[in-house]
Amino acid sequence: MLASILAEHLQLELVGNDRDISAIAPIHTASSTELAFVSQARFLSQLALTRAGVVIIKPAWSDRVPEGCAAILASDPYLAFARATHYFAAAKELATGIHPSAQVHPEATVDATAAVGAHVSVGRGTEIGPCVTIGANVSIADHCKIGAGSRLEAGVVVYSDVHIGQRCRIHSNAVIGSDGFGFAPSPEGWVKIEQLGGVRIGDDCDIGANTVIDRGALQHTVLGNNVIIDNLVQVAHNCIIGDQTAIAACVGLAGSTRIGRRCTLAGGVGVVGHLDICDDVHVTAMSMVTKSIIEPGSYSSGTTMMPSVEWRKSAVRMGQLENLNKRVQQLEKLLSKETRDQ
């Protein structure tokens, strides 16, 4: 692709000689036929040494571009890079139509522009929209809806009564609509609570590999628009996740958690059930959220890493805090009494 054509697609300005771009590469390894980007000032030292044919940079850095290197000027180079990747993606598109080995229920509807791969199963009453791609070995149960332009990679499992919006991507081995973890105790043991809700996923969502989104118990589990979820995430029944929220790998959301818009949950975060997180909250990695968050901002919990010997000492002192608190209260009472007696 010519750099000028890419710049036109991105609606950005190209400075320097036009040239053909074959790929995108890191700034320190890019060759004369590759595109690179610099989004942070700390990488400007690498810009001076790059052999990239074209770089995406901020306009203020244009005078730092090496001789012979062209530049695409962007106020947000990282965002421009993200959009540029769409023109270099090497995803293999399935041929339009239904593979002979696929099993599609007679009462299902598959748009003529959709692509249904090998050994796919589509249940009764399910609707597959225009330009949808269903990879090999995907299982879609009854009464589901897959919106236009969405893509389900190989091995995805979609239980009944799941609606997936437009332009979504569900990565391999994700499971959407499995039963929530609902059981009632009885003298004879656990009694299963049938999960009668479904799952509703908005438009432009991305759900990572091996992530599980459980169906609701009585109401639906809901993801808003442009929600992005990494690999190995557990979303329990009845959770509601607001628009443009991002959830990193290994996060666990207990049942009936309600997360607002534009939130970010970093890797390994745990959230106990039946609480609310307001809009614009960032929770740092490995934190445990045990109560509702009602004000936007960044939140953390847990202890930072330290040498094992120091951690053991701190753990011992942690167990002594209750006794220490009682002693401090006793000292305060004594001091208060002495002050009154003077």
Q: Which residues are catalytic?
A: 237
Longest Cα separation, the chain: 97
Rounded-to-integer distance, Cα 136 and Cα 36, Å:
34
* DSSP secondary structure string for all residues of 61-98: GGGGSPTT-EEEE-SSHHHHHHHHHTTT--PPPPPSEE
Distances (CA, A) of 82 to 2, 89, 203: 18, 11, 19
Sign of the torsion formed by the C-alpha atoms of 323, 329, 333 and 339: positive
Rounded-to-integer distance, Cα 196 and Cα 35, Å:
50
With a CB cutoff of 8 Å and minimum separation 6, the contacts of 183 are 190, 191, 192, 193
Q: Which residues pair with 229 in a beta bridge?
A: 207, 247
Q: Please return the burial class of 62, using the count of CB atoms within 10 Å of its CB with bins 0-12, 13-18 and 19+.
A: middle
Q: How many CA atoms lie within 13 A of 323 on its CB side?
A: 5
Query: Radius of gyration (Cα) for the chain, nearest Å?
Result: 27
Query: Cβ distance 127 to 146 under 8 Å?
Result: yes
- Strand 264-265, strand 246-247: pairing: parallel
